[in-house]
Structure 1
Amino acid sequence: MMRVAYLGMAILLMVLTTGCAGQGERSAPISQTVSAAAPPETETIKLVLMSGAFQSQLAALLREELEEEGYALAAYFAEDILEPNKLVDEGKADANFFQHEAYFNQFVSDHNLKQLVRGFYVVSLPGGLYSRAYPSLAQLPDGATVSIPVDATNNGRALLLLQKAGLLQLKPGVEVSQLGLKDIVSNPRGFKFKEVTQPSLPQTLEQSDAGFLFAGSAVQLGYELQRDALALEADAELPYKSIVAVRRDLAGSPKIRALQRAFASEAVKALYKLHYDDAVQFLDERGGVDKRKNP
C-alpha cells in the first residue's frame, strides 16, 4: 500500500511529469552513467530524473550549461518513484529532480532518511481541474464524478479548488497537504470522488465528469493550462513547489551551486515557458516567486 501511495505523489514534475523518454534515457545503474573518459568525480554531477515528459530535453540543456562551468552531467532516468530519493540518500547520486516539497517532506519523514536535504527551489507548476465533457465547473451535473489523487499530500488539492469555486465546504484550518475526503463538511451537489494514483489520472479523466491533473499530465494530453483548466491553482504559497534534493554533505557546495545556476538559466526557463507558458512561476532561493524571472 505504501508503494501505491507514493506512486501517486510524484512531481515532477513536476514536470516532470512532466513526452516519453527517448531510447537513450532508459534506466541503467547509476554507477554506469559515467564513462571511463568522464572527468574526475568532483567534476561530475550525478542527477536522477524520472523517465518521461521533457526530461531528456531538460538534461541536455543542463549538460550544456554545466559544461561551461567545467562540470559533466551524468543523468540517470529512474522508472521507479521510490528510487530517486533513496539513491541520493545512499550516496549513489548527488541530486534528484522529480518532486514537490510536500512529497519530499513526507517521504523523508516516512523513510527516516538522514542524508537527503532540500538543495534549492526551481519552479511552481499549478495543478488543475479538467473535463472532456463540460466547459466549466458550473456546468457539472449534480452527482458528477470527479477523479482526484489518492495520496495524502495531493488528495486535497482538487477539493480546495472545488471549495474556492463554491461547490464544496471543507473543515477550516486544515493544511491543503493534509486535506482529504474526511474533511468535507458540505457537498451540496452530491459530487462523487474517485481516488486513483497519479499515473492513472489522465486515463481516469476519460471516465469521469471532471478530474484533477498535474501540470505535466495536462500538457501531455494537449491542454493549455491557462485556457483549458476549469480551475487552476494560483497560490504560489501552496507547498507544491518543485525542488532539487541533494546529499547533505554536498548542500551549498560549488557543484550544487553550479547545478542551481544551470536550472536558473535562460535556456531552461525557455523550455518551461514552451511547455507551460505563463502558468509556470520561477522561484528564488527562499521559494518565493522570482520577479526577475517572471516578467
Structure 2
Amino acid sequence: MKKGKGIIITIISIIVIIGIIFGIHTLTGNSAKSSNATITVGSQGSDYDIWNHIATSKQAKELGLKIKTKQITDGVQLNNATAQGSVDVNAFQSYSYLEAYNKEHKNSQLVALGTTYLEPLGIYSDKYKRISKIPNGATVAIANNPANTARGLLLLQSAGLIKLKKNFGALGNTNDIASNPKHLKFKEIDDTTGPRVLHTVDVVLISNTVALEGHLNVLKDSIFHEKIDISTRSNINVLATAKKNKDNKNYKKLVKLYHEPAIQKYIKDKYDGTKVEVQKPLSYLK
C-alpha cells in the first residue's frame, strides 16, 4: 500500500514538474515573441515619411525594433485604428488633439508615450507683412476641427488680435472670444486647404504639416508663429497608443529612437528646422 502511494506521489510530482517546465517555456516563448514583434506605426503626411525613414534606420536595428508603417490620412480614423489595435502606435498629433479625441471618444481612450516636436502653427497672409497691419474687419480662415480651432484662437490671442474667456479650453471656439477689437470675421475651412485659400482671404492659420505640403516654411513665410513656451505645451506632438499599452517597453523605445541624434539630423535637414525637437517628460504637458 505504501509502495502504491509512493508511485502515485512520484507520478504527481513528475506531472507538476512537467507543468512548471512547460509554463516557463510558454512564458519565455511569449516574452521573446513580444520583444521581437513588429510594431505598426500609423501616421500621415510628412510624419509618415519620417517614420518610413526611421523604420529602416541603423538606430532602429540597434534598439532591436522592427517597425512597419501604415498611412491613414484622417486623424480620427487613425486614432480609432490605434484604439482598436490595427495600429500599435501613432505619430501625427499634438497633445491637445489627443485630449480632444479622448473627450469625444469615451470608449476609445489613448495615452501619450512621449513627446516628439513642436510643429509651429503659423499665421499667414499674402496681403499683410505684419500683424499690426491687419485691418479692422479682416477675414481670418481657421481650421474647422475642435483641437485646431482652439489652437488657432490661442495663437491669435498671443499675437494680440483677440482676447479669450478665462475658462477657454481644448475644445474652445469663436464663441469663447471675450474681446475682438478689430472685429475680425472668421471663416472655417478644412485643415488641408489652408495654402489654397491664402489668396482669397486676408489671413489664414495653417498647421506646419499642411504648410510644408503647400511649399511654405512657417519660420520664414508666416507673419507670426508659435514658440516653445508654457502657452504652447499642449501643442507639442506626441507618440500615442491605446491606454492598455501605456507601459509597453518596446513602444516606449520608439520615443528614445525618435530623439536619436542621427534621426534628428535627418529631420532637421529634410524639413528645414520646422519640426522643432521637444524632449520633455509627459508631466510637462499637463
TM bin, normalised by shorter chain, reads 0.7 to 0.9
Match of 1:255 in 2: 250
Q: Contact between 2:136 and 2:184, CA under 8 Å: does it hold in 1?
A: yes
Query: 5+ residue gaps in structure 1?
Result: 1-38, 290-295
Which of 154, 160, 172 is the aligned partner of 1:166?
160
Instruction: Give the residue type in structure 1 aligned to 2:60.
Output: L
Distance in 2 (alpha carbons) for counterparts of 1:254 and 1:153: 29
Structure 1 residues 134 and 284 mapped into 2: Cα distance closer, same or farther (>3 Å)?
A: same
Are residue 267 (structure 1) and residue 262 (structure 2) matched?
A: yes
Distance in 1 (alpha carbons) for counterparts of 2:136 and 2:154: 18
Q: Specify the SS of the correspondent of 2:211.
A: helix
Distance in 1 (alpha carbons) for counterparts of 2:150 and 2:86: 34
What's the C-alpha RMSD, in Å, of the aligned pairs? 2.5
Distance in 2 (alpha carbons) for counterparts of 1:279 and 1:63: 20
Structure with the larger helix share: 2
Which of 40, 49, 52 is the aligned partner of 1:56?
49
Match of 1:151 in 2: 145
Instruction: Give the residue type in structure 2 aligned to 1:45.
Output: I
Match of 2:238 in 1: 243
Shift of 1:207: 1.0
Match of 2:186 in 1: 193
Which of 67, 71, 79 is the aligned partner of 1:85?
79
Distance in 1 (alpha carbons) for counterparts of 2:51 and 2:207: 18
Are residue 277 (structure 1) and residue 266 (structure 2) matched?
A: no
Deviations 1:168-204 (Å, cap 9, x if unpaired)?
23323423x2432112233232221111121122222
Q: How does 1:44-123 map to 2 (within 5 A)?
A: 44-50=38-44, 52-53=45-46, 55-64=48-57, 65-114=59-108, 116-123=110-117
Shift of 1:235: 4.3
Shift of 1:128: 1.3
Q: Specify the SS of the correspondent of 1:53.
A: helix
What is the number of equivalent residue pairs in this alignment?
A: 249
Match of 2:282 in 1: 286
Query: Larger Cα Rg: Structure 1 or Structure 2?
Result: 2
Give the structure-2-normalised TM-score.
0.77
Distance in 2 (alpha carbons) for counterparts of 1:107 and 1:49: 16
